[in-house]
Amino acid sequence: MKKIFITTIFTVFIPLSTLMAQVGITAVPFLQIEPDSRATGMGNTGVAIADNASAIFWNPAGLAFQNQSQVSITHANWLPAFNADLFYDYLVGTYHIDGIGTIGGHITFLNLGEQTRTDETGLELGRFNSFEISAGLSYGFRISETFALGTGLRYIYSSLADGSVSGQDITPGSSVGVDFAGLYKSRPFALGSREATFSAGFNLANIGPGIQYTDNAQKDPLPTTLRAGWAYKMDLDSNGLNSLTFSNDVSKIMARNERISTDQDNPEFQNMGVFEALFNSWGSFERFNGTENVTVSLAQQLMFGFGLEYWYDNLFALRGGYYFENPENGNREFITLGAGLRYNIFGVDFSYLYTLEEDHPLANTIRLSLLINFR
């Protein structure tokens, strides 16, 4: 009988736990990795901006306000503190069709490195690769001049391990996820002698059935996430050469487990179904953190991002942001910095993440995005 050696635990499951809140509840947390360097440079805020190809991730309703076709790719060496050969790639493209609108597609890939397989005695039986991938399509359509709805569908494939454990074959997990989103963008309005715009949006992402890796295992839910946010853009001069954007996103994982035993020493939890969790995840909940039961309030479940972006003549940008999760619900807190360049049809964006906690696995994460805009 084969089993997966502890190497898998340390190089796959523990790194994944740093990606998102409530990791003990959800599967495939790679779907929560913010893909583009522009929004990540602004404190992981993008649901109310959504004006480029990465709107597929942040808010597919933003595609309705785009009349150009784009291709963008983002690369990041993931969790560099682990030095475990993990990397993340995100390829996205949009295509505008007159009279129909803009559609988009994406491929997301997370390489989790090479693992060692052993038997019960510790004898090495070979090696295998772990990875997760998703691909999907999105579409946005206008309801009015200022409001649009959007949706998306993705296929998810997660291959964390192979072999068998305790007689149970381990197989890759798969599922599908659906997004539903809305976006309001105001008409330009005068602020003194300068022009300004306001936008607000929401995105309920990754609604779908759970994933399991063995026949008798409980299905772990997808990281269904509700994001809502606003953005305010203002010109700093009368000719619009310099502009400044403020943004704020609030997000929440819409997955929930419930206790099914009364044993205080050996608590058992069961995951709610996806639609049940949408309506029953608005209060506090209890989880077991490995040593004790912890109650997480609704306020503690919320994740906050704040961003700032300065543009000069739509050619050069500087960005900054702040992101916060409660220690009982993910415990990510960091400052982000970023910059962007645009020339003709080409664009480059860069972001850097500075964690406020020493020796955090996400420390010094760098993302680089390349963009081609087909006018």
pLDDT of amino acid 272: 74
Q: How far apart are the first and last CA of the chain?
A: 58
Answer for the pair 231, 49: CB distance below 8 angstroms, yes or no: yes
Which residues are CB-neighbours of 217 under 8 A, at least 6 positions away?
A: 168
CATH number for the domain whose boundaries are 3-374: 2.40.160.40
In tens, the pLDDT along 230-282 reads: 999 999 988 889 999 999 999 999 987 665 566 555 656 667 778 888 888 88
pLDDT of amino acid 73: 96
In tens, the pLDDT along 18-44 reads: 444 444 578 899 999 999 999 999 999
What token pair was written down for 161?
Answer: 């391990």
Q: From CA 238, how far away is CA 368, in angstroms rounded?
A: 33
Which residues are CB-neighbours of 16 under 8 A, at least 6 positions away?
A: 23, 29, 30, 112
pLDDT of amino acid 146: 96
Whether 11 has a pLDDT exceeding 60, the answer reads no
In tens, the pLDDT along 51-75 reads: 999 999 999 999 999 988 999 999 9
pLDDT of amino acid 18: 44
In tens, the pLDDT along 115-132 reads: 777 666 667 767 778 899
What token pair was written down for 259?
Answer: 């206790």
pLDDT of amino acid 290: 65
- Ranking 8-12, 273-277, 317-321 by mean pLDDT, the lowest is 8-12
Residue type, 265: D
* Residue among 284, 288, 365, 366 at smallest CA distance from 332: 365
Q: Which residues pair with 231 in a beta bridge?
A: 199, 247
